[in-house]
Amino acid sequence: MSGKLLAVSDLHVTHRQNREFLVGLWPDCHEDWLIVAGDVAERIADVEWALRLLAGRFERVIWAPGNHELWTTKRDPVELRGEKRYLALVERCRALGVITPEDPYPVWTGPDGPVTVVPLFLLYDYSFRPDGATSKAEALTIAYESGVVCTDELLLHPDPYPSRDAWCEARVTETEQRLSRLDPRARVVLVNHYPLIRDPTRVLRYPQFAQWCGTDRTADWHRRFNAAAVVYGHLHIRRTTWHDGVPFMEVSLGYPGEQRGIGQYTALCRVLPRETATC
Ligand SMILES: [Fe+2]
Ligand SMILES: [Fe+2]
C-alpha cells in the first residue's frame, strides 16, 4: 500500500466557490484516505452530497462532525435537533460507507502505519474561558457584552441534554472509556473538530470565542493515547503546531475569503507519511 493519509476540514460547501473546489478535488493515488474534520455544511442534504462525492473518489473517508452540521436551521427540511440530528448524520454516513465516531476505528496500514484513526465527537464546555472569567456564566457575559457570540448559542441544540456542556461531558466520558480500551502500544491519529488543547486558540482575533472551541478535559489525550498526530479544524487557521512532540494539524479549507494560498494541490493536508507531512 503506497497511499497517503490526507485531511481537510471546514469545507463549508454551502458556498458556491467551495462546492466548485470540491468537484475538482481528486486523490492522486487510489489508495489515499481522507479525513474530513467537520463543518461540511449546515443542511444534511449538502453534507450528504459532499461526502458521497468524496467517498466515491477516496479509498476511505473518515468524518467527525463540526458545529455547523449540528445546527438546526430554517433552510433545512430536516428539522432534527441535538443528538437525534447527530445520529441521523451518522446513519447517512454509514449508508455512504463513511466512517463516523460511532464506528470501529479503522487502522491505516499504509506508509508509517499501522496507525489507528480515531474520529471524535466531543463538543466544548466553555472551559477555554477568557481572562477574568471564572465560570461559564462570566465567560458568556464577557462574550455577549463584546458582541462576539458563537451562532451555536442559537442553532446548536443539545437535546436531550440540558446544555451543550452537559452533552460534551457525556461525550468525553464515553469516548475516554473507549480510548482506554485500545492497545496502549497502538499509535493513533486523533481527529476532532476542535483542538484537544487550548494553546492553538491563543491566536484567535477574539479570545472570548475560545469558549466554543474545546474542553480542558482533553488536554493530555495526545500523550495518554499515544498520538502520532492530532487533526482538527474549526479555527479556520491552517497550520501545524507541536506539543510534547506531537503535531497538531489545523486543516481548514475555510470560507472563500480565507483561502489565499490554498491551491487545488495543497488543499489537502498530508498527515502520513510523516516525511511528506504538510499543512
Ligand atoms: Fe468552520
Ligand atoms: Fe466549526
Helix boundaries (H) for the chain: 16-23, 44-55, 82-96, 136-146, 152-155, 164-180, 221-224
Chain segment 52-72, per-residue pLDDT in tens: 999 999 999 999 999 999 999
Q: In degrees to the nearest 10, what's the CA dihedral of 33, 87, 136, 153?
A: 100
Instruction: Tell me the mean pLDDT in the region 32-57.
Output: 98
CA of 26 to the centre of ligand 1 (A): 22
Chain segment 225-274, per-residue pLDDT in tens: 999 999 999 999 999 999 999 999 999 999 998 876 666 556 799 999 98
In degrees, to the nearest 5, what angle opens at C-alpha 11 toward C-alphas 118 and 82? 65
Segment holding 4, helix H or strand E: none
Ligand with an atom nearest the CA of residue 152: 2
Is it the case that residue 105 has pLDDT exceeding 90? yes
Between 98 and 262, name the one with better pLDDT: 98
pLDDT of residue 102: 98
Instruction: Tell me the mean pLDDT in the region 22-31.
Output: 92
pLDDT of residue 111: 95
Q: How many angstroms separate the CA atoms of 88 and 72, rounded? A: 13
pLDDT category of residue 80 using cuts at 50, 70 and 90: very high
Strands 246-250 and 239-243: antiparallel
CA of 238 to the centre of ligand 2 (A): 13
CA of 235 to the centre of ligand 1 (A): 7
Q: How many angstroms separate the CA atoms of 51 and 96, rounded? A: 8
CA of 42 to the centre of ligand 2 (A): 11
CA of 150 to the centre of ligand 1 (A): 11
Which residues make Cβ contacts (< 8 Å) with residue 223, sequence separation at least 6?
A: 244, 246
What is the 3-state secondary structure of 107-124?
Answer: EECCCCCCEEEEECCCCC
Scanning the structure block, which residue is given the C-alpha cell 490526507? Answer: 6
Average pLDDT, the chain: 96
**First CA to last CA across the chain, in angstroms?**
23
DSSP 240: E
CA of 131 to the centre of ligand 2 (A): 22
Which residues make Cβ contacts (< 8 Å) with residue 70, sequence separation at least 6?
A: 82, 85, 86, 156
pLDDT of residue 128: 98
As a whole number of Å, the CA-based R_g of the chain is 18
Instruction: Tell me the mean pLDDT in the region 159-172.
Output: 98
Is it the case that residue 178 has pLDDT exceeding 60? yes
Instruction: Tell me the mean pLDDT in the region 75-88.
Output: 98
**Ligand 1 (ion): which residues have CB within 5 A?**
10, 39
CA of 223 to the centre of ligand 2 (A): 24
Report which of 26, 2, 8 is spatially closest to residue 252, judged by C-alpha positions. Answer: 8
Ligand with an atom nearest the CA of residue 254: 1
CA of 146 to the centre of ligand 1 (A): 21
The model's pTM is: 0.97
CA of 181 to the centre of ligand 1 (A): 31
Portion of the chain with pLDDT greater than 70, in percent? 97
Ligand with an atom nearest the CA of residue 12: 1
Ligand with an atom nearest the CA of residue 150: 2
Chain segment 108-153, per-residue pLDDT in tens: 999 999 999 999 999 999 999 999 999 999 999 999 999 999 999 9
pLDDT of residue 262: 66
CA of 90 to the centre of ligand 2 (A): 18
